[in-house]
Structure formats: structure tokens, C-alpha cells
Structure 1
Amino acid sequence: MVVRLFGLLLLCGGVSSISQDPPNIVFIVADDYGYNDIGYHGSELKTPNLDKLAKDGIKLENYYVQPICSPTRSQLLSGRYQIHTGLQHGVIMPCVPTALPLEDRTMADKLKEVGYKTHIVGKWHLGFYKEEYTPTKRGFDSFFGYLLGSEDYYTHMRAESGFYGLDFHDNLKPHNQSYGRYSAFEFTKRAQSIIESHKKGSPLFLYLPYQSVHAPLQVPGIYEEKFQFIKDRNRRMFAAMVAAMDEGVGNITETLKSSGLWDNTLIIFTNDNGGQVFAGGNNAPYRGNKASYFEGGVKGVGFVSGPVIKTPGVINQQLMHVSDWFPTLINLVGGSLNGTKPDGYDVWSSIVNNATSPRDEIIYNIDPKSPRKGKSVSTVFDTSVQAALRFGDYKILTGDPGYDKWVPEPTSPFYLTPNQDYVSSSDQNVYLFNIAKDPEERNDLSQSHPEIVDMMLQRLAKWNATAVPVNYPPIDKNCDPSLRGGVWGPWM
């Protein structure tokens, strides 16, 4: 059934000639990677392997993610908006007992149903307080990586809430053999090993969420030496980390070719949120930063590539959101969406045929738990609440949208290392932009177009009526790694 359905999808989707097998899917995620952090966007950073893959594939230039880690990853793997999973507030911190709900089946769950071998190498960050929330209980055949959101690149240790421990796992077994070894190298080597040992009788799903290039800024010196022309130390270190990740992607591509899997492989690349400007990232020309709902926080860096794509060099401008990957890929391989309730859309035809996107709206978030800002100016929706919505060409932000500066390109004579202590003194809690005409969000229309503001607030109110309660309980001190041999892991 899978073979027949995939053949039909290829005929309809313009991907390639008839294939007898569903494609291998290698899904790569770069952490805290900004719009101006990839070579083909004109960055001073060098990313030859990523640039070549993008050139040989389709660049997604109207693609959006979430402004922080856990929400993007939850929506990628489940297709569900965070207002529908209880993950509206922040990221999942190490000692907070919350996770992607078990009733939300993951992409790995659904791909396994149609015969895929599924593996995750890298960062999880979707909850682990109980074993049933860990990767190998959520559809993955294997897990090699870390459960939390960040850690030391060499020791793989994490300090949080007064606790300290190792966060590196091979499935659910503590893995200390990588102590002192740079994570990008370790993740690349494990990904290569999975590819080399994969049996061709079944398709491969390799989910590769690198630690790179999230803080802390750490990288072998040989990479930093290549970027001595970058004066700002944070940017120089960041550029070196990007280069190490890019090299890993190139090595994985070569392994796909040498293993015989390349000819039927689809590669997808995405960031999880905008670049962290306080740690070397850059989102120019867009406004904002990681954790901001301005474009700099949510503008995606994405492309699809590999021999499965037969229209290289295309720049795609169809509207797409990270939640769309779930239904798109499950439908592509002939899988079933039964038992799921994705908020995303199947956008495969929009990607490969430039068909009009079925998506005209993105609800980025409504977070009633974040600190309120100012007084509400509407009875339709409480504008002191942090929220963000795109509808058509318009985007509305309410509450505190986060860092609101434009950080220029680091090569600009006007570039200064951003001040992490910056806090906006404005009490403004409603912004409106026409993103099609003003992608840099320099012209706030909230005062001149009150009728559009009212319409957008009504849209927010409609979405808010569908939201589930925020699931963000207090810290549980039983998370303490010292209670489990100095290792972060399930504690309930």
C-alpha cells in the first residue's frame, strides 16, 4: 500500500520519476540559527555544504518557526500548535514536570506505522520527567543525545536550579564515553553510523537536531582560526561553530552517497528559532531576536533538498509554518493521520509545484502566564497578554513581544554587540504590521488602521477559545541528578 501511494504522490507532486520506495528522510535542525547566519542569505559566515544543498533544492523563503526551542520542536513533531498542547509558556526547563502530551502522536510514531526505521541524534527538549515522555517511548527506535535544552559542548554537563549532572544518553542509558568530545562531532559520527548500518529493506527517518549553534559559545580552536577577520568575539566564535556544523552536514551527505541511500533521500533543513543576538547570532535585516515575536525571532531558515527534489534552484515564497511538516511528510509517504489532530497543513504541492499555500494564518502563541504589559485597549481580547498572529499579509503582536531592536549585520560599521540588559521602556502592547509590504516591521499600523486591529483581535479571541490550560507546574526538586548517580533523567 505504501509503495503504491507514494508512487501516486510522486506523480501528483512533481518530485521525481516513479520510485518503488518511500524516501529516506533526513531532518536537520540548527539551534538558535538566525536568518543572517547562513551563507546564501548574504552572511559573512561560510556554509558551503548547506549552501550547496539549498542550491540543489528548494529554498523556503516565506517559512516560519516559533521564537524558542520547545515550542518549535513540539510543533514540528506533532503538528499541533502549542496553545493546544499546554506548552504556551517558555521552554521546558530541566526541573519542570511537563512534556509534549502523550495523546499527541509524533512524526516518528506515524512513520513507524508505514515501515520506517526512526532515529533521533541530538537534542530532545520535549520533556523527560517520566520515562514515557522520552524519545524511545515516542516513536524513535534509538536516541543518542541529550534531554535538556542546553549544556556544555565537551563535558555534556548541565547546571540548573542548584543541581548539576550529566545529560548525554544512548537510548536511556547514561553515556559518558563522549566526555571531552565536541558534540557536533559526536552527533555527526552517530548519524553516519546509523546511515551506514541501515538496511535498505525499509526507509530511514533520521531526525538530527544539532546542539549547534546554541550557547555556550564553544568550538575547537582550528575552526575559530578561520574567522579572525571577524572582530566581534561572540560573532567569531559563533561563525566557527556554524562552520563545524556545516562540515558535519557535508560529512553526512557524503555518507548517504557512499552507503547507497542518497538516490532516494529527502533532506530537510530548518532552524528552531531566530538567532540569539547576545551570543553571536544575527537576524538582519529583520527586527528582534530569539524569544521575540518580531520577524527576527520567527523567520525561518529552511530548505528541502536531495535527489528526490527535481526542481533545483527554486526560491519558494509560499507561506509555510513549522507545524506543516507533520501532515506534509506523513501524507507524502502514504501514512495515516488517524489519531492525530494537526493544526498544520499539507504543503507539499506548495513546495514542489508552487501551488498556492493552503495556509493563510499562523497563530504563533497566546501565553497567559507571561507577565502582562500595560492595560488592555480592547474588550475583544486582553491586549496585555503576550500573543502573536499572522493573518494574510498582516501580523499583530500584543502584550510584550520581546526584544524589539534591529541588530545590523556584524559587517556594518553601525554594529555593536547587543546589550543583553536591554528592556523596552514602552508600555505599548499592540503592534500591527503589513509583513508583505514591511517585512522589517518598521511601520506600526496599529493607530492608523484600528479596523484591522479589531479584526485581528477577534481572530486572537477565536483562537484563544480553543486553547487548553498552560501546563507549567512549579519546579520539582526530585529532579536532582545526584539522586540518580549524577545523571539528568526521568524522576517520576
Structure 2
Amino acid sequence: MKIKLLFVALLATHISFAQKKPNVIVILADDLGYADLGCYGSEIPTPNLDKLAQNGVRLTNFYNTARCCPTRAALLTGVYSHQAGIGHMMDDKGADHPAYRGHLNETSVTIAEVMKTAGYFTAMTGKWHVGQAAGTVPWKRGFDRSLNAPAGGFYYGDGKNAKVFLNGEALENDSDKLPKNWYSTDLWTDFGLRFIDEAAAEKKPFMLYLAHNAPHFPLQAPEEDIAKFRGKYLQGWEKIREQRYAKQLKLGLIDPSWKLPPANPNIPKWESLSEQEKKRYDDMMAIYAAVIYRLDKSIGDLVEGLKKRGVFDDTVILFVSDNGGNAEPGMEGRYEGDKPGNAQSTVFLGQGWAEAACTPFWAYKHHTHEGGISSPGIISWPNGILASRNGKFEKQPAHIIDIMATLVDLGGAKYPTTFAGQAIQPLEGTSLKPAFGGKSINRKSPIFWEHEGNRAIRDGKWKLVAEKTEKWQLYDVEKDRTELNDLFDKQPEIAKKLVVQYEEWYKRVGAEEYDKTFKWFYDYDKAKKQAVSGK
């Protein structure tokens, strides 16, 4: 009898949990490469994110849109960025170009607008970058609370681009509503937890969109953190890339059949550099590592805050990045200021280290080869992911457009056909919730990309891809995700089918030709082909 009563009690507890809406936190990093976390191959210590991965699920095939604004648009709306009005960046090309208005349009809804209808308290902190100058702001797009930067570009309150808005109010950077001497990575987490407290006071589940500007340029971090890494990168980018690749193989993150592509010929060999150049590049990477180290620390602060409030186990955390590692503006990067890394300096990572950030893939931010569109993807949900799944890899392809569908599924919400009297575009993404338990997500359509004329489509194991000036290439990305063996001529029927599907999508979302190319990258493409062919 006691056993029977215990079973009934456990069943009742399970039903109660099953009926309870989980809290949801979506964390978006900025310019974080596929290999920049410890649990994805990096030497940079990221113990807090590693622990989330160890006690959750790692996505090995999570994709973004290759650039910051389009990724944010797709994440927020669940449709492709062109459909949301941000096919490129913030420039408005006018009413004749609806895919390029530079701000979220009214035929899309945000995750906040949808989750509010399911009873959620909605909040966001961090980088907005989807059209604040045009009047598209978080407090008018469904967020109950927000502390946001219009477009990022700073870490400290005395930085030249520093500007924050609290629930629509522009604050002075030394406002008494903000902590003294704040650092943005910590600030976003601090206010995220404050907003969670407000959700608790209203007895509502919460949905927090935490959009970090780390590790985007201008790279800035406290000197004591930079000092932890200074000197550790004097071994050079080739060795760091090789070490990350070896660690990825050891982790089981990547398949041994994915060979490391040849190095970009535009990047000089480390040993060819002068001692002064080596010191400079070492310091640039040390600053970048410190920014990531502080990003991870803030994740630890967030988790600790959730645990103190007793809500961690009932909270789904999704962590991704908006594009691959950033090689802008090329090999030299930028290293400016009296004390590079402080609030008045400007540091860009540069192409040599971006190559390591994107290990094992090739290409970077802007590009639709794997290095530009591949992101770490970590899912944590102690009460929703079976312990047997902890630390597992999930290989099903997933995309940033899937975030909306996933949240709708988790929160028991309904994606609308109309909103505020406006017809809303159909959802493009697919819920990832089944993958939490190792089940198929049943994706119905291929995944598509277009950015600056760089384009791609992935359908199952097949990926068709080309940079703006290239001919289409076809890869079996289950066997060759580093895109070294072009099968376009060997699989003409598959290639033709994907080309047709891509062209149909391209027209449907209103994508247009783009007039910019990156010559340093195309030189790389030519050299890669030569290296692969042995000619």
C-alpha cells in the first residue's frame, strides 16, 4: 500500500511539473567563434559554460546568419532576417526594398510579444541592434522590462559609445540607477536578475533575452584579467588552431573525417613575425581571451543567482552566438590606445586569431561557409532534460530561426496569424524541444542563408554553398563539414535540386544582389582549392 501511495505521489509531482511553464533564458554572445569555449575546444577557461554543457546538451550543428543584426532579427522573430526587414544591417533602402529596411517590420512578431500572450513576464538586457534609431525598441516590441544598448560598441560607462536605456529611459552612464564603475558584461546579468525578481513578485514565469556584446570589438576587459593570458599566445595562431582541433577530436565534438583545412595564405606564418609583432598579437589575443573569460564569469553569476532564487532547475537556458569569429578588418586587426584593452582603446581580434576562433572550419563572420555560420549551442534544463542526456552531443542541424518555435513549444504559447491588426508571416523555424530528449525535430524544410551575396542551403547532410564571386559547391557535411571535397559535379541531381530550392527561397524572402566583396577572403578560397587539389 505504501509503495502504491508513493507511486501516486510521484506521478502527481510529475504531472504538476509537466503542466508548469518553465522559465526561459536565451543568451546570445557576439562574435564568439565555434572553438572559443572550453567545451568546444578552446584553451580559454570557461568553467561555467562548460558545466552547463556537462549537465545539459551540446548542439554540434547550430547555425546563425553570419552577422549580428540579421541573427538578432531572426532570433527575435522566428522568420528569416530578410522577412523581418533586416536582410543586411541598419541601412534603410526604402519602401521598394522591404527586406532591407534596417529595422524589424510589423509583419513579424517578437518572442516577447508571443510569450506575453502565454502569461510570461518578458525582459531583455544587452545589445538590441534591430533598429532603435528607426523607433523599433524593446519596450514597444513586447518586453515588460529592458536595459539595452541600441547597438553595442562599448564595455565601460566611460567608453565613447556607451549609451543605455532602462525601460525606455535614456540614462546617464553614471546614473545612480546603475552600479558604479560598471562593466557591460556584468551589467546585463545584474539587471537580468533584477527583472527576474520582478517576475517572481508578479508570480509569473519569465522569459529573459540576454544579448551580450561580448566578445565583439572594441575588445576591453579589466587589466587583471588580461594579465592572466598575456604571454600564453606567443606560441602563435597555427599552434593554437592545431591544439583546438586536437581537443575537439578528443572531446568527440567533431568527426575524425573532418580534416583541418589549409591555413589562409593571407595570414603570415607566426615564425615570420618580428618579436614586436608577436608581442602585439599576443596581447590582442590575451584581451580577447579576457573578454570571453569575463563572459563566462557572468554566466556563473547568472546561474548562481538563479539557484539562490530557487528557479535554476525550472529554467531552460539556451546559449548561442550571432556569427563566427571576426576577422575584420583583415590581418592587422586593430590595436589602438595608450593602454589597449581599457575603456578608451579599440582592439579588433584580426584574421590570424579569427582563424583559430573558427576551428575546425574555414571562413569567418560575413561568410556562409561553416566558419561564418557555425555557433556553439548549449541547452541546460535540469528538470526537463533527462540525466542520461547530460553531456551528450546533439547532431541534428538547428538554426537561429528555431528559437521562436522552441519558446512557443516550451511555453505553451500560440504563434499568431495576426497581431495588433496586422497579418503576421508564418513561422519559419522548427521547435528544438524534441532534441532535448534525443528525438527527431522533424524539420520540414531546408535551412537557407544569404548575406552580402554569400549564400547557402542545407538539407539533411547536403550543403550547397558559394561566396558572392564563386560558383556553387556541394558538400556532404556529415562526412566533410570542413568543406574540402566539392561534390557538385559528382552529384548533379542533388546539386540541381538544391539550386532550384535556393532560388525559390531567395525570391520568396526578397533577397537582393549585394555589391561588396572581401578580396582577402577570395584569395584564401583560391589557395584552398589549390591546396585541396594538390596543384
TM-score where L is the length of structure 2:
0.71
Indicate yes or no: 2:441 matched with 1:345.
Answer: no
Question: Paired residue for 1:394, among 441, 462, 482?
Answer: 462
Task: Assess, with a 3 A threshold, how the Cα gap between structure 1 residues 288 and 386 changes in structure 2: closer, same or farther.
Answer: closer
Give the aligned partner of residue 475 of structure 2. Answer: 433
Is 1:150 the equivalent of 2:218?
no
Q: Is the 8 A contact 1:62 1:318 kept in 2?
A: yes
Quick one: structure 1 residues 63 and 357, their matched pair in 2 at CA, closer, same or farther if it must change by over 3 Å?
A: farther
Structure 1: gaps spanning 5 or more residues: 1-10, 159-165, 371-384, 401-426, 473-492
User: Which amino acid in structure 1 is aligned with residue 194 of structure 2?
Assistant: S
- Which amino acid letter does the alignment assign opposite residue 362 of structure 1? I
Match of 2:131 in 1: 127
Shift of 1:149: 4.6
2:392 maps to which of 314, 317, 323: 314
Please show how residues 476-487 of structure 1 align to structure 2 within 5 Å.
Answer: none
Q: Aligned pair 1:174/2:170, yes or no?
A: yes
- 3-state SS in 1 of match to 2:393: strand
State the AA in 2 paired with 1:345. Answer: T
Q: 311-320 vs 246-255, which deviates more?
A: 311-320
Q: Map Cα deviations across residues 55-74 of structure 1 (whole Å, 9 max, x no partner).
A: 11111112211100111111
Deviations 1:363-392 (A, max 9, x none): 112x5xx4xxxxxxxxxxxxxx54221122
Aligned 8 A contact 2:368 2:467 in 1: no
1:242 aligns with 2:292: yes
The counterpart of 1:113, out of the listed 117, 135, 138, is 117
Output one character per residue of 1:11-69: Cα deviation in whole Å (capped at 9) or x when no partner.
9xxx9973452111111111111111000122111100000011111111122111001
Runs ≥4 residues deviating over 4 A: 93-97, 469-472
Aligned position for 1:486: none
Q: Is the 8 A contact 2:227 2:286 kept in 1?
A: no
SS in 1 for 2:286: helix
1:410-429 correspondence runs (5 A): 428-429=470-471
Q: In structure 2, how many angstroms separate the alpha carbons of the residues matched to 1:300 and 1:69?
A: 12
* Alignment correspondent of 1:67: 66
Q: 2:319 maps to which residue?
A: 269
Question: Do the aligned residues in 2 keep the contact of 1:93 with 1:148 (CA within 8 Å)?
Answer: no
* Displacement of 1:234: 2.1
- What letter matches 1:47 in structure 2? T
1:299 is the counterpart of 2:381: no
What pairs with 1:438-477 in structure 2 (closer than 5 Å)?
438-468=480-510
Inter-CA distance 207–225: structure 2 relative to 1 (3 Å threshold): same
The separation in 2 between residues aligned to 1:216 and 1:35, in whole angstroms, is 20
Paired residue for 1:92, among 71, 90, 112?
90
Residue 363 in structure 1 maps to residue 448 in structure 2 = yes
Looking at structure 1, the residues matched to 187 and 91 of structure 2 have their Cα atoms a distance apart, in angstroms, of 24
Looking at structure 2, the residues matched to 149 and 80 of structure 1 have their Cα atoms a distance apart, in angstroms, of: 23
1:263 to 1:394, Cα distance in 2 relative to 1, 3 A: closer
1:418-449 residue CA offsets vs partner (Å, 9 max, x unmatched):
xxxxxxxxx53322222111111112223444
Q: Which of residues 434, 439, 447 is equivalent to 1:354?
A: 439
Distance in structure 1 (CA, Å) of the matches to 2:16 and 2:52: 20
CA shift digits 1:461-489 (9 cap, x unpaired):
221231236699xxxxxxxxxxxxxxxxx
How far residue 289 of structure 1 moved from its aligned partner, in angstroms, is 0.6
Give the corresponding residue for 1:189: 190
Gaps of 5+ in 2: 1-10, 94-99, 235-281, 328-332, 334-348, 418-423, 515-535
1:337: how far off?
A: 1.1
Residue 138 (structure 1) shift: 0.4
- 1:92 and 1:85 map into 2 onto residues whose CA distance is 12
- Are 1:224 and 1:237, in contact at CA under 8 Å, matched by a contact in 2? yes
Distance 1:214 1:146 in 2: 13
Question: Following the alignment from structure 1 to structure 2, what is the Cα–Cα distance between the partners of residues 172 and 84?
Answer: 26
TM-fit CA distance, 1:359: 4.7
Q: Secondary structure at the match of 1:35?
A: coil
* Contact 1:196–1:255 (Cα < 8 Å) also in 2: no
Tell me the SS of whatever aligns to 1:254: helix
Distance 1:351 1:157, change over 3 A: same
Q: 1:219 aligns with which of 212, 218, 221?
A: 221
Q: Confirm or deny: 8 A CA contact 1:118 1:205 kept in the other structure.
A: yes
1:146/1:93 CA distance change after superposition, 3 Å:
farther
Q: In the alignment, which residue of structure 2 is the partner of 1:233? A: 283
Percentage of matched positions with identical amino acids: 31
Aligned residues: 407
What whole-Å deviation, never above 9, does each CA across 1:165-211 have from its counterpart, x for those lacking one? x5321122222226853211222221232234432610011110111
Whole-angstrom distance in 1 between the partners of 2:164 and 2:43: 33
Q: What is the alpha-carbon distance in structure 1 between the residues aligned to residue 16 and residue 228 of structure 2?
A: 42
Q: What residue is the counterpart of 1:382 in the other structure? A: none
Contact 2:315/2:381, CA 8 A, preserved across alignment: yes
Decide whether aligned partners of structure 1 residues 97 and 363 sit closer, same or farther in structure 2, where only a CA change above 3 A counts.
Answer: closer
**Is the partner of 1:222 in helix, strand or coil?**
helix
SS at match of 1:98: coil
Larger CA deviation: 342-351 vs 196-205: 196-205
Contact 2:430 / 2:441 at 8 angstroms: preserved in 1?
Answer: no
Picking from 137, 140, 144, the partner of 1:137 is: 140
Q: 1:441 to 1:456 in 2, by over 3 A?
A: same
Q: Per the alignment, in what secondary structure is the counterpart of residue 208 of structure 2?
A: strand
Per-residue deviation, 1:150: 2.7
Q: 1:352 to 1:155 in 2, by over 3 A?
A: farther
Deviations 1:215-257 (A, max 9, x none): 1111001111211322322221111001111111101111111
CA distance in 1, matches of 2:147, 2:366: 27
Alpha-carbon contact 2:449-2:457 (below 8 Å) kept:
yes
User: Contact between 1:28 and 1:267, CA under 8 Å: does it hold in 2?
Assistant: yes
